[in-house]
């Protein structure tokens, strides 16, 4: 029998209101699996402040009635990483995004999140590079006792830039969600150090958009890499960040 752990995702770790932040949840499963490269497929929305059950081997996340919310499996990240943009260019783009997202409480890209209560990433489009990028220094409060970010926060940093890339540079409609995230981490990410989180479009098929996302040091050294599938709603939905 596979052991399980029941917990709740805190209310501030959300994307859309009431919905747990996808990258964070995927990172929880990846950490539990122990695999170097993991794919997480979301089957249903994961609610914040509601008990969920994580299999000890990271293979699934369910509600207390046993309904599968997300599944994880060992996989391979096949996306080819793009070179990181220059730090100065990224800083200029991020400054623009910070102003426009100052009311957002999204755990990944919300500039209104209090320090330590969100990543406060601010990806912004760089059309000449066909990517979005955020110059990002993780708040020290996001680090663990060793000063490094947890797996769930590293995976969280690989989420929003992909969605923004498909929305800003292609035609992904607002209200889209992360349907699958496959990622791997190459080195620890230290809170308080400067990083670049950036995403780029790969392909689109109807409502489905595939994107690549990378996390790199300020000098361009790759720290983590992901491929994500985003799916837009069948109909335009009102939403709030």
Q: Is 239's pLDDT higher than 50?
A: no
Q: E strands of the chain, at which residues?
A: 4-7, 37-42, 52-55, 60-63, 68-74, 124-126, 131-136, 177-185, 195-205, 208-217, 222-231
Q: How far apart are CA 148 and CA 181, in angstroms?
A: 22
Q: Is 236's pLDDT higher than 70?
A: no
Q: Are 119 and 136 in contact (CB under 8 A)?
A: yes
Tell me the pLDDT tens digit for each residue of 40-88: 999 999 999 999 999 999 999 999 999 999 999 999 999 999 999 999 9
Q: How far apart are CA 13 and CA 10, in angstroms?
A: 6
Q: What pLDDT, on the 0 to 100 scale, is given for residue 1?
A: 43
Give the mean pLDDT of 206-224.
97
Query: Quick check: helix, strand or coil at residue 100?
Result: helix
Q: What pLDDT, on the 0 to 100 scale, is given for residue 99?
A: 61
The pTM assigned to this predicted structure is 0.93
pLDDT: is 199 or 94 the higher one? Answer: 199
Q: Largest Cα–Cα distance in the chain?
A: 53
Q: What pLDDT, on the 0 to 100 scale, is given for residue 2?
A: 55
Residue 123: which residues within 8 A CB-CB, separation 6 or more?
93, 94, 97, 109, 132, 133, 134, 160, 161, 164, 165, 197, 198, 199
Tell me the pLDDT tens digit for each residue of 113-154: 999 999 999 899 999 999 999 999 999 999 999 999 999 999
pLDDT: is 234 or 65 the higher one? Answer: 65
Residue 225: which residues within 8 A CB-CB, separation 6 or more?
77, 79, 81, 158, 183, 184, 186, 212, 213, 214, 215
Burial grade of 106 (CB within 10 A; 0-12, 13-18, 19 or more): buried
Report the mean per-residue pLDDT for the chain: 93
Q: What pLDDT, on the 0 to 100 scale, is given for residue 49?
A: 97
Q: Which residue from 181, 183, 161 is spatially nearest to 172, judged by alpha carbons?
A: 161
Tell me the pLDDT tens digit for each residue of 85-113: 999 999 988 887 766 666 689 999 988 89
Percent of the chain with pLDDT over 90: 85
């Amino acid at each position: 029998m596979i052991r399980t752990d029941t917990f709740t995702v805190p209310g501030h770790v959300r994307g859309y209101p009431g919905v747990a932040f996808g990258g964070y949840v995927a990172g929880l499963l990846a950490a539990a699996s122990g695999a170097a490269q993991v794919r997480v497929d979301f089957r249903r929305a994961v609610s914040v402040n509601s008990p969920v059950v994580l299999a000890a081997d990271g293979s699934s996340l369910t509600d207390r009635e046993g309904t599968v919310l997300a599944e994880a499996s060992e996989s391979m990240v096949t996306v080819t990483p793009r070179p990181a943009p220059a730090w100065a260019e990224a800083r200029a783009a991020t400054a623009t995004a910070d102003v426009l997202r100052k009311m957002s409480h999204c755990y990944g890209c919300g500039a209104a999140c209090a320090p330590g209560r969100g990543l406060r990433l601010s990806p912004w489009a760089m059309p000449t590079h066909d990517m979005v990028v955020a110059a990002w220094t993780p708040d020290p409060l996001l680090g663990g006792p060793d000063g490094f970010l947890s797996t769930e926060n590293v995976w969280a940093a690989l989420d929003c830039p992909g969605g923004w890339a498909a929305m800003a540079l292609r035609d992904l409609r607002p209200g889209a969600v992360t349907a699958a995230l496959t990622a791997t981490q190459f080195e620890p990410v230290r809170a308080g150090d400067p990083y670049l989180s950036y995403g780029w479009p790969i392909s689109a098929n109807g409502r489905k958009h595939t994107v690549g996302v990378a996390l790199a040091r300020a000098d361009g050294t790759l720290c983590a890499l992901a491929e994500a599938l985003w799916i837009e709603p069948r109909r335009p939905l009102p939403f709030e960040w």
